[in-house]
């Protein structure tokens, strides 16, 4: 393991992220904030939704922002770099094991997802105020959840980015990302699905469910949520599986 090369690659990614900061910012936060505004302010303010919905919505919005930032931050550059610009080749030729290059991408993606999560909380709170009741009763559990969520998003980005062709990006959004959001218990708690028992079981294969429910459990425990133990175990499992799959796909792509 070559720490110098690893650190230099992280520095490169940080440099590029800083250069594209405004674009990244809009890309990450515009959509969730519009959503927060329409559902949390307009719908609640006009009485179509109960006031408590504001607090219920917030964890889901954080989950979406984090997960999509992580996936996007890792998958999109990988797809472009492997196929068009081939610019990853310069790093593949750096004196470091190929798997570490993938791990560097995952760490960079995780950091971006964490930053996204930590920024969207106050932003959404500002938009929703007053009437949001969030409380971090167990800060360590909360930290554990967001780190696991960030890891899963970055590992998912790695696995997707190394499995998908550039011409299938649209398909990826239609077939993977959109259903994931809508069946991810982001805009409603998992318990709300109890009138659809089959669907309620089926959505459990969606890792976003655990992200939303985990954040709900740690930020707004007053609402029904999955048990935190189940959430942590499931997130850990998804992290590991996606990391292993992602690394394998990456190594396959890296060498012809």
Partner 1 sequence: MAVGVRTQDLRKVYSTAPPLGAAGLFIARADAKGGKQPKTQIPALDGLSLDILPGEIFGLLGPNGAGKSTTIGVLTTRVRPTSGQAWIGEHDVWKEQTRVKHLIGVVPQRPNLDFSLTAREILIFHAAYFGIGSKQRNERADALLARFKLTERANQMVRGFSGGMMQRLSIARAMMHDPQVLFLDEPSAGLDPQTRILLWEIIREYHQTGRTVLLTTHNMEEADTVCQRLAIIDHGHVIALGTPARLKASIPGGFLLRLRFGNQTADLLQRLQLLAGVREVRAADSTGADVYADRGGSLIPEIASLAANSGAELSDVHISEPSLENLFLHHTGRSLRD
Residues at the interface with partner 1 (CB under 8 A): 2, 4-5, 8-9, 11-12, 15-16, 19-20, 85-98, 165, 255-256
- Beta-carbon count within 10 A of 150 CB: 27
> Which lies closer to partner 1 via its Cβ, residue 63 or residue 160?
160
At its nearest, how many Å lie between partner 1 and the CB of residue 171? 10
> Coil, strand or helix: which one is 156?
helix
At its nearest, how many Å lie between partner 1 and the CB of residue 192? 37
Nearest to 76 by CA among 215, 39, 84: 84
* Cα gap 212→193, rounded to integer Å: 14
Using the structure block, give the residue that is written with the tokens 């490169």. Answer: 12
* Cα gap 251→256, rounded to integer Å: 9
Using the structure block, give the residue that is written with the tokens 């259903």. Answer: 179
Task: Write the DSSP string, 223-253.
Answer: S----HHHHHHHHHHHHHHHHHHHHHHHHHH
> Which lies closer to partner 1 via its Cβ, residue 84 or residue 140?
84
> Which lies closer to partner 1 via its Cβ, residue 87 or residue 191?
87
At its nearest, how many Å lie between partner 1 and the CB of residue 104? 11
At its nearest, how many Å lie between partner 1 and the CB of residue 105? 14
At its nearest, how many Å lie between partner 1 and the CB of residue 72? 15
At its nearest, how many Å lie between partner 1 and the CB of residue 113? 20
> Which lies closer to partner 1 via its Cβ, residue 82 or residue 152?
82
> Which lies closer to partner 1 via its Cβ, residue 168 or residue 201?
168
The alpha-helical segments, DSSP class H, found in the chain are 3-19, 21-35, 44-45, 53-83, 88-92, 98-128, 139-161, 169-172, 178-182, 197-202, 207-219, 228-254
> Which lies closer to partner 1 via its Cβ, residue 83 or residue 141?
83
């Amino acid at each position: 393991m070559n720490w110098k090369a690893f650190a230099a690659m992280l520095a490169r990614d940080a440099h590029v992220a800083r250069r594209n900061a405004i674009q990244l910012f809009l890309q990450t936060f515009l959509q969730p904030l519009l959503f927060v505004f329409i559902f949390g302010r307009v719908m609640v303010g006009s009485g179509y939704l109960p006031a408590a919905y504001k607090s219920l919505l917030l964890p889901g919005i954080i989950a979406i922002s984090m997960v999509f930032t992580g996936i996007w931050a890792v998958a999109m550059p990988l797809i472009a770099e492997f196929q068009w610009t081939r610019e990853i080749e310069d790093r593949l030729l750096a004196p470091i094991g190929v798997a570490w290059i993938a791990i560097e991408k995952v760490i960079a993606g995780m950091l971006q997802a964490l930053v996204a999560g930590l920024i969207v909380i106050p932003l959404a709170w500002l938009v929703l105020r007053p009437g949001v009741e969030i409380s971090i009763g167990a800060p360590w559990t909360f930290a554990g959840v967001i780190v696991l969520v960030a890891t899963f998003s970055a590992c998912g980005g790695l696995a997707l980015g190394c499995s998908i062709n550039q011409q299938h990006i649209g398909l990826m959004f239609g077939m993977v990302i959109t259903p994931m959001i809508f069946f991810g218990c982001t805009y409603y708690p998992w318990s709300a699905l109890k009138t659809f028992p089959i669907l309620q079981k089926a959505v459990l294969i969606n890792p976003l469910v655990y992200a939303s429910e985990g954040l709900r459990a740690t930020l707004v425990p007053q609402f029904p949520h999955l048990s935190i133990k189940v959430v942590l175990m499931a997130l850990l499992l998804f992290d590991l599986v996606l990391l292993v799959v992602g690394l394998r796909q990456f190594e396959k792509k890296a060498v012809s």
